[in-house]
Each structure stands twice: as C-alpha cells, then as structure tokens.
Structure 1
Amino acid sequence: MAGTRIDYMELRDLVRELRASTNDSAIQRTTGLNRRTIRRYRAWASQHGLLTGDLPSIEHLAALAHDTLMTPAPPQTVSSLEPFRALALELHAAGVEGVAIRERLRERGFTGSLSAVYRFLAQLTPAQPDVTVRVETPPGQEAQVDFGYAGRMIDPVTGVLRKAWAFVMVLAWSRFMYVEFVWNQSVETWLLLHRHGFEFFGGVPHRVVLDNLKAGVTHADVDDPHIQHAYRECAEHYGFLVAPCRPRTPEHKGKVESGVHFVKRNFLGGRMPTTLTQANHDVLAWCQTTAGQRIHGTTKHVPILQFRATEQAALQALPASPYDLALWKAATVARDCYVVFNQAFYSVPFRFVGQTVHVRGGAADVRIYTTDWQLVATHQRATTAGERLTHPDHLPPTHRPGLLLGREMALDRATVIGPATEQVVRTLLDDTVVDRLRTVGRILQLAERVGAARLEAACVRALCYDAISHQAIKAILAQGLDHEPAPEPPAPPAQTYVRDAHDLLGHLFGGVVWN
C-alpha cells in the first residue's frame, strides 16, 4: 500500500494479475489482498498505462512506484542542537565525546538532552554495513592453525580425567584438515603438532596463518610481529612463512575457526570420554572419512578429493629430516658460571657472569648465545634433572684446581713435573686423617707461576728438610732457595745395639750371662 515499504517483485506480479483479469474477487483469492487495495492498484496501473502494452522492467516499475506510490516522509523535527551546529561539528571533529560536547554546549545555553546530542552525531556519521570479504587462496598456498578446548579426556598414564585441547590445521583451498588432541599449548607441543600436520599432508604449505598465541608470537604487532625463536627456526626448516592475524581479528582465519567448531559439534559432540591415545587414533580416521568425505558447505566439493586431485601436488616437499624440536630461553649467568635449562646446569665462560644469554635446547645439544647472537658455549643435552655439564675453560683459572682436580689427575700432573714433586704429592695424599687434595692443587698450581723446574727443585729441598707443606714450598720459591744447590741428605744415626731385659738379667734366673 501507499506509504509502506513495497516489494517490487510482488508489485510486478500484481500488475500481471491486473492485466490478465478484471475480476477483483478472483484476484483477491489469488493474492489475499483486500479488494479496495486491488481497486487502488488497478487505478494506479491504469493511470500510468501499465495495463496494456509491454510490461516494463523491474527497474522501471520500481522507480515509477517509488515516485508515485510512496507517501513522502513527514518532515523531520529540527534538532535542538541546530543553533549550536558549528560548535558541535568543531568539537566532534576534534574527537570530543558526546558527554563532553553536551557540557560545552550547555555553557553556551544548550538545554537539550544527551540523547539529542547522540542523535545529532549519528546523522554526521551514519552506520556502515558490516561487510565481510571472503578470501580464497590457490592450492597449497595456505594452511590455518588453531587450538580449541576439547573437554576432558582420560590420561592413559594415571587414568584421571584432564583438560584436553584440539589442534586443528586446515588447508585453505581444499579444506582438508588434520586434528590432534594434546594436554597443553606449550612451545614444544606447538612445534611437534606442526611436524605431525605436515607429515599427515605429505607436504608443507607456503604460509601458515595463526592467531597471536604465545607459542608462536611473543609480541603481536600489525607491522612487526615478534615470532617465537623456536617457531622461526621451524618455519625456516620447513620453508613456510608465518602469517599472524591482526590482534583481535579471529575472522581472518575463519576457515580453521569453522574447522574447530566442526570438530566440537561433530567428532566431540556427545562422545563419551576416552583416553587421549584412543581419541587421537579415532580422530585421524574421522579426518579422512566423515570430515574429509563430506561435501563442504562453502566450497561444495569433497575436501579429501580436492586435496588428492590438486592441492597435495601443490604443497612444498618435506625436508630430508624433521625439525629438531629446539626450545629457546633467556637466562642469566649465575655467579657459579652456570645457566639453568630444563632443570639441568650448563657452564658459560666466567666473563659473562651476571649477563643475560639466549639458550637453545635441541634434542641432542644445548647452545648458548650472547644477546648479539654470538655462540659462546655448546654442550651435550643433559639426560637427567640436576645434571651439571662443565667445560673447564669456562671457569676462572684460580678456581679450577680445587674444583676439577682428582687424586689420579694430581699424581699424573706431579709425575710430569718430576720425582720429587710426585713424592711430595703422594705423601700428602696418603694422609689417612686429613683430605690434602686441595693443598696438592695449590702446590701444583705453583708450576703455572714459576715453572715446573723451579717447583721440582723446591720440592727436592722441602723433602731434604722434611717440610712437606704448601707454605714451606711457597717460602722456598719466594726466597729463591730453589736456585741454591740441594743440601746433602743428613747422615744416618750411629749404630746402637739394644738388648732386652732377658739378655741383661737372665743370669739371675739361671740364664746365660751377658758379656
């Protein structure tokens, strides 16, 4: 009717009915319109020549109806802000909010409401429709990844229900997906899941789109996102580009968002709790059957057929070996010249004590870098918690002897220096009460200061005077006595003969007389 919103397709159908019949009752039965309404439309159609000749196009009919049937809108009420329009526009352009605008206008005599202010501002910036642009990529170009909460599953080790997460990787062109359930979203788990996904597809996409979760992106930024070190290495190893979404825009990875929802409502929907191992076994079959062989709602194709026919060949080849699951950590070198990584201790050159270093823990080794990425230490990966791996040259020279020296090593070093030094060391180590290893280390360290020849000479002199101690040998060296000729060994004591009481007094008891 006039004055209401008109469906122009229905209007065109009504005009056809009016052209075909003059019986308004019959048209009423067909269209359900009131006969007065039918008569009004018949008069309008006759007035504009629509009952004879060619039926105009829908565009012409819509324009004619808009101009002649629609009742002009009543004039709008003048806004109470109109006298203050110039000031309101100036404040709005400066970014001032509605409440503050009302306060500034009140200072100029405005008496209207806050709602009047908001209505006025709404006319300045009419609402824009929420537009979605669908982006499709070529085969093999893109994969999207995400986590979704999967409810509780049974831990196969403890038998206890635990929270589990579903990792979903979707190939953007074919919509073929890989799903795996895990207990956590750690960096190590994140990297392992990428490896499993690529191996499932038999190839690597050219880029991976992800949300800004910490396992992949340490700092979200539109222009310069900071990619987690291990994830960067993983991307370089497999040859894919990391493409984080803009912060708070999950719709930019809508394909995997839909995939996560499909896993929840189809595979997980109504499923009784099973072990994580069983769930992962079942979901792989589900990916290739239920999920892979359905007709996708958007593409209208079967994902697994699209994958096998086209996308699989467009993926990059897998590297010869899988990525070494390396973890990175920033650590401070402690006063004892060690950093802690995964509950084990690794030595670092003592000059870096107190500094922050980057620690990379691979499957076989641990590497330590300075903040400017200079490699300063490499160790084999510790096998047990609390293990301490040490390179002797990382420790201060003054601390090495007492820390690293053992009995056998001390004897070996003393033997190289000379027989007198060996005798001194052996004598000290043979003490059955006091541990003399530290003293031995200090004596041997004197060779680094004065040379092996002088230490050997000092030990010769110490043995002559039976002065076997660190202080005595150090004093001999300090006074230069090692340069003087070695003293003659003391003469053996005069021979004496000792008889026992039986020999002396035996004759008193009938024994032999002693002469």
Structure 2
Amino acid sequence: MFFSFEQEGDQGVNVLKQHLQSTIFTLLERGASQHKIHELTGVDRKTIRRYQAIYESQQAVGANSPTTAPTGVAEPAGARIPPPQAPPSPRPPAPARAAPVKPFDFARSASEPHREWIEQQVRLQRNAQAIYQDLVDQFGFTASYDSVKRFVRALRHVDPEQFDRLAFIVGEESQVDYGEGAPTLDPKTGRYRKPRLFVMTLRYSRRSFRRVVWKSSKQVWAQLHEEAFRYFGGSTQYVVLDNLREGVITPDLYEPEINRLYAAMLEHYGVVADPARVRDPNRKGTVEHAIKHTQDTALKGRRFESIEAQNEFLMHWEENWAARRIHGSARRQVQAMFQEEKPHLQALPLTGFRYFKEVVRTVNDDTTVSIDRSNYAARPAPIGSLVCVRVYDTTLEIRDRRTQELLRTHPRHTEPGSLELPESERPFNPSRQTSLALASAGDIGPRAKALCQHLFDAEGRVGHRGMWGIVALAKKYPTWLVEQACDHALRHHLYRYRQVRAVVERLFEQALERLDRAPQLALPLTQEHALIRPAAEYGALFNAGAQHSAGTHPSTTGETE
C-alpha cells in the first residue's frame, strides 16, 4: 500500500494527509504499538514516531489544562487532537532541565520492563531466540518474538576493533611487502600484465622504496632488500615482513623458520627479521598503507611499455610527491623526517652480500661430496651423513645440516671430474672392487691394467670411478683401441678418465677415416681355380638329378616301371 504526501505551505515540512493523521492518532489512543500502526497504515515508523511525540505532548498539555473535556464526552480523534498544518514559526526555548529525547524513548517496547535482565543476557552473547524463550518460561512473557528481537537489536552494538598505535625510534624498524604494480607490457607474450610491486617503508619517517619485478624468488627478494638499503643509505635494526615463502619457510608464532639465504643477507647488513603473525597484516600497517597509496595515487589508470619505465616513474613520484607530502598523523613532511632519521641508520658494509645456492648432499664412502660432477672433501662429516653445501661463484662451503657450522671451504672447480681431496685424507685400503676393476682392466690389455693400477696408487678408493670408466670404454669401442689409448696416456702422463676417453674417441675417428680412404680393389673374373670344378661334372650332376626325379614320379601316360 502506498500513500501520497502533501507539502505544507512554505515551511518545507512533509505531513500526512488528514485521514492518515486521524488514523494514527486513533490507534495511538487505543494503545497500538508503532509496529502495529506501520502494518495497518504502511506509514514509515519514523513518521509514526514523530506523530506519537505530538500526540503525547498534546496529551500532557490537555491533562494540565483546566478546560479538559468531560470524560463521558466523545469527540472525534481528528477534532480532539487537530494535527498541526504548519509548525509555529518561532520555536520556544527548551526548558533548562529538559533532557534530550532519544528516538528509542518514543517506542515503548513490551520488553522494556525486563531491560536489565535482557542486557545481562546480551552481554553473555546470547541470541534473541534464547532470550525470548527464557522470558516466556521465567517471566510469563506474552508479547511476540519480533518484539524481543527488535529490542535486542537496539541493545546490541559492536565495538569497533581497537588497534594500538605503535611508536618507534629513528632507524629502528622498516616494513616490507609485495603488492601489484600497474599493467606493463610483457616482452615475452606481448600482452599487458601486472608485475609484483616491492615496497620497503621506514617506520619512523614513512619514506619508501618501490620497485616492480616480473618474478620473485628467494634471491630476488633478498636483492630488493639490498637495493632498498643502498637507496636509504643505511639499514634499520629490524625488518617486519609477511610470512611469504621468499622470507619465511615455516610460519610459527614463537619460532618462525627464516629462509637461510634471506637470513644470511640480513645478517650481513646487521638486520633482524621480525615476521608478523599469521593473518595479522595490521602489524605492518605502514607498508600496507604505502602500497595502497602507491596503487591508488601513483599507478591508478596508468600503463607502461616496460618494467624499466615503471620503475623510473616510481622513483620520480617518490622523490617529487610522496617524499614531500605532509603525513596525516605525524603532521610533518616525510622528507624532513627522513633527514632526521637517516643519520641513525646502520652503516652499510664495504662489500655487498655474496649470493649462493644451497643444496643437500650425502657424504660418499670416500669422504667426499659430489657437486656439478666434481668431488670435494667433506671431513669431519661422517660417511653417509647429510651436509649442506653453499655453492658460490668461485668457492663453496660445506656446513653441518643441523647447526649450520662451517666444516670445509674449497675453491669451486668448473671442469667436471675434478677432485679436491688432500693426500692425507685419501683412503688407500684395497677392496674387492679394486681387485675386480684391475682384473677387468687386465682383460683389455697390460697397458690398461697398468693405467688403472696407477690410478689406484695415486688416488686410492677415489680412483675407483676412473678405473671403472676405463673398463667401460671396452664395451663401446674395440679393446685394441682402448689398449692403445691407455698406452698413449701412460706415455704422456694422462691419468684422468676423461682424457683417456678423449684419446679413444680420437683413435676411433681416425680408424673410420682410414677405412673411408682405403681404395676398393676390383678383382678379375677367372674360369680356372682350384675351387672351381669342370663344367662336365656340373652337367653330370644335373643329369643324375633329372633321372632320379623321373624314376620316382609316375609318367604322364599312366605307365609305371
């Protein structure tokens, strides 16, 4: 049901039509609730509340008036309480002791007598249905459930979530996180896509470093930190990060496991990682706000043709706009606070961090570990144990897997088959494998056995690999070629398997070339030779065969011999 409204005079006040006003006053006189009047008339409850206030005020005036109508006289509701067609122009001043009227005071709920008990139940987090059931059982409540539900909804309010405002000293903390950059043309696909936006923000001054990258990894994550430290001219004492895989291997409230490459980089710069709790991004709200500010202000609606162009724009925007803004809560310029904080940042080391690749290896029975087809001594790590190997550009480190204690450092070999094992650590005890390898080499030839014996005498059990490699060459190439290659290796002091294999391959290619260059001799045809019988003997053999065939098969005439 819809009702029309008429605008009264020049006062700009919307009032109901006369019949609706009379209906509302009549229902109020009979004690109907606002909810019941709304169901019957369709008038908004705020409008009903306004007319209820008018009704109550006029009732109070009529009760104090000496000209009150007699009780037995019945008057129409509209005549008894004429609705004001226009409010009085000058509003009388409110009484000095009059309290402000709350909207809820106009609506007298049936649950009002039980307010105190209902408030206790609401504080216990009980729902309206349970409160209604107890009202009926314990207090004989006769009103409807909807009345209780509305009353509980008015009482229940949700307190806003409270956050502590943290304060930090200069140079104490920085916060880092990833976001999404602006759409950028990908050179590989030719399409626009959003790169990853790295942001590091100094907690005290709110100065930020921003960089976009296509892909992230453990090393990229650490390198971005280094670039940020160099950009600021120093490092903070702590860095707060999210629990992403590039920084935290295992999130934990008490003992999070930090990625070793990332932890080593931070240790190089004297920084301590402080991961935020899981699903608690407000701990690093400064960098969260910096990312949103970058996306909404600097990058919103922009496209870039290259990743370099976007990084150049971000640097320009930081220097010319973000750093010169007045921070909302601090009420100071970001650049001015950064100039105050910069002398308190930790000094950068003279050299940058050396990045490495960490792998896990098992110590072989010759006390070495294999890295890129080369072997390196791993003592004092026991045989069969697992060790961590950090592979740098020119060196490698062997560390205990559990404590990360440094065990050995070796120069890194680039040629496969290299061995880094001191003479004093080489085991020279012969085994059954030694005897078997020497016996197999003896089957090839004496020079092959002599070469294998020399490998064992020089390297011990480590030389078993080279010995078996030489023996295996005889399975692919002729034995005389392998023997010839071993003789060449002994004469020229070539004691590595790969060198012997190269000699065998070269000799094999030379043999094939000689076969290709060998002339093909044309043999003359001859009629007389010791292996060639006379033609008469071949004729007699053919006749004997024909007679034998004629004697064993019936003739075509049907006669038999």
Q: TM-score, normalised by structure 2?
A: 0.51
Choose the corresponding residue for 2:480, options 405, 412, 432: 432
Choose the corresponding residue for 1:41, options 70, 88, 92: 92
Q: Which amino acid aligns with 2:344?
A: A
When the two chains are superposed, the root-mean-square deviation of aligned CA atoms in Å is 5.5
- Conserved? CA contact 2:363–2:382, under 8 Å: no
- Matched ranges for 1:295-306 at <5 A: 295-306=326-337
Choose the corresponding residue for 2:210, options 145, 158, 179: 179
Q: Which amino acid aligns with 1:333?
A: T
SS of the residue 2:301 aligns to: coil
> Which residue of structure 2 aligns with residue 252 of structure 1?
283
1:140 aligns with 2:171: yes
Q: What number of residue pairs does the alignment pair up?
A: 369
Deviation at 1:279, TM superposition (A): 2.7
Residue deviations 1:192-236, cap 9 Å, x none? 111110001111112112122121222333333322222222222
> Which residue of structure 2 aligns with residue 78 of structure 1?
111
The structure-2 alpha-carbon separation of the partners of 1:389 and 1:155, relative to structure 1 and needing over 3 Å to count, comes to farther
- Conserved? CA contact 1:369–1:376, under 8 Å: yes
Choose the corresponding residue for 1:285, options 311, 316, 334: 316
Choose the corresponding residue for 2:342, options 306, 309, 312: 312
Unaligned runs of 5+ in 2: 1-48, 51-84, 439-447, 460-470, 487-561
The structure-2 alpha-carbon separation of the partners of 1:65 and 1:333, relative to structure 1 and needing over 3 Å to count, comes to farther
- Matched ranges for 1:436-455 at <5 A: none
1:223 aligns with 2:270: no
SS of the residue 2:322 aligns to: coil
- Conserved? CA contact 1:346–1:388, under 8 Å: yes
The structure-2 alpha-carbon separation of the partners of 1:270 and 1:138, relative to structure 1 and needing over 3 Å to count, comes to same
SS of the residue 1:243 aligns to: strand
- Conserved? CA contact 1:169–1:177, under 8 Å: yes
CA distance in 2, matches of 1:388, 1:121: 81
Residue deviations 1:304-325, cap 9 Å, x none? 23322x1111111112222222
Q: Which amino acid aligns with 1:141?
A: E
The structure-2 alpha-carbon separation of the partners of 1:159 and 1:98, relative to structure 1 and needing over 3 Å to count, comes to same
The structure-2 alpha-carbon separation of the partners of 1:277 and 1:412, relative to structure 1 and needing over 3 Å to count, comes to same
- Conserved? CA contact 1:143–1:171, under 8 Å: yes
The structure-2 alpha-carbon separation of the partners of 1:261 and 1:69, relative to structure 1 and needing over 3 Å to count, comes to closer
Residue deviations 1:88-140, cap 9 Å, x none? 979x97x9x969979x98xx999999989988987997522233443332222
Choose the corresponding residue for 1:212, options 221, 231, 243: 243
The structure-2 alpha-carbon separation of the partners of 1:299 and 1:225, relative to structure 1 and needing over 3 Å to count, comes to same
The structure-2 alpha-carbon separation of the partners of 1:267 and 1:39, relative to structure 1 and needing over 3 Å to count, comes to closer
Choose the corresponding residue for 1:272, options 291, 303, 306: 303
The structure-2 alpha-carbon separation of the partners of 1:222 and 1:73, relative to structure 1 and needing over 3 Å to count, comes to farther
> Which residue of structure 2 aligns with residue 484 of structure 1?
none
- Conserved? CA contact 2:183–2:302, under 8 Å: no
- Matched ranges for 1:151-170 at <5 A: 151-154=182-185, 163-170=194-201
CA distance in 2, matches of 1:359, 1:367: 5
> Which residue of structure 2 aligns with residue 333 of structure 1?
362
- Conserved? CA contact 1:150–1:163, under 8 Å: yes
Choose the corresponding residue for 1:66, options 99, 107, 110: 99
1:360 aligns with 2:390: yes
The structure-2 alpha-carbon separation of the partners of 1:334 and 1:198, relative to structure 1 and needing over 3 Å to count, comes to same
SS of the residue 1:166 aligns to: strand
The structure-2 alpha-carbon separation of the partners of 1:315 and 1:124, relative to structure 1 and needing over 3 Å to count, comes to same
The structure-2 alpha-carbon separation of the partners of 1:79 and 1:276, relative to structure 1 and needing over 3 Å to count, comes to same
- Conserved? CA contact 1:188–1:327, under 8 Å: no
SS of the residue 2:195 aligns to: strand
The structure-2 alpha-carbon separation of the partners of 1:372 and 1:292, relative to structure 1 and needing over 3 Å to count, comes to closer
Q: Which amino acid aligns with 1:41?
A: P
CA distance in 1, matches of 2:145, 2:320: 59
> Which residue of structure 2 aligns with residue 421 of structure 1?
none
> Which residue of structure 2 aligns with residue 324 of structure 1?
354
> Which residue of structure 1 aligns with residue 272 of structure 2?
241
- Conserved? CA contact 2:181–2:295, under 8 Å: yes
CA distance in 2, matches of 1:79, 1:394: 94
Deviation at 1:346, TM superposition (A): 6.6
CA distance in 2, matches of 1:315, 1:431: 71
- Conserved? CA contact 2:184–2:303, under 8 Å: no
Deviation at 1:169, TM superposition (A): 0.9
Deviation at 1:258, TM superposition (A): 1.9
Identity among equivalent positions (%) equals 25
The structure-2 alpha-carbon separation of the partners of 1:288 and 1:117, relative to structure 1 and needing over 3 Å to count, comes to same
CA distance in 1, matches of 2:242, 2:217: 15
CA distance in 1, matches of 2:427, 2:299: 56
The structure-2 alpha-carbon separation of the partners of 1:286 and 1:189, relative to structure 1 and needing over 3 Å to count, comes to same
- Conserved? CA contact 1:192–1:325, under 8 Å: no
- Matched ranges for 1:444-483 at <5 A: none
CA distance in 2, matches of 1:227, 1:415: 44
Residue deviations 1:57-105, cap 9 Å, x none? xxxxxxx4426898845444339999x99xx979x97x9x969979x98
Residue deviations 1:130-181, cap 9 Å, x none? 3344333222222111111114434568877565211111112222211111
CA distance in 2, matches of 1:121, 1:161: 53
Q: Which amino acid aligns with 2:294?
A: V
> Which residue of structure 1 aligns with residue 494 of structure 2?
none
The structure-2 alpha-carbon separation of the partners of 1:184 and 1:296, relative to structure 1 and needing over 3 Å to count, comes to same
SS of the residue 2:226 aligns to: helix
CA distance in 2, matches of 1:406, 1:125: 94
> Which residue of structure 2 aligns with residue 30 of structure 1?
none
The structure-2 alpha-carbon separation of the partners of 1:162 and 1:380, relative to structure 1 and needing over 3 Å to count, comes to farther
CA distance in 1, matches of 2:143, 2:277: 41
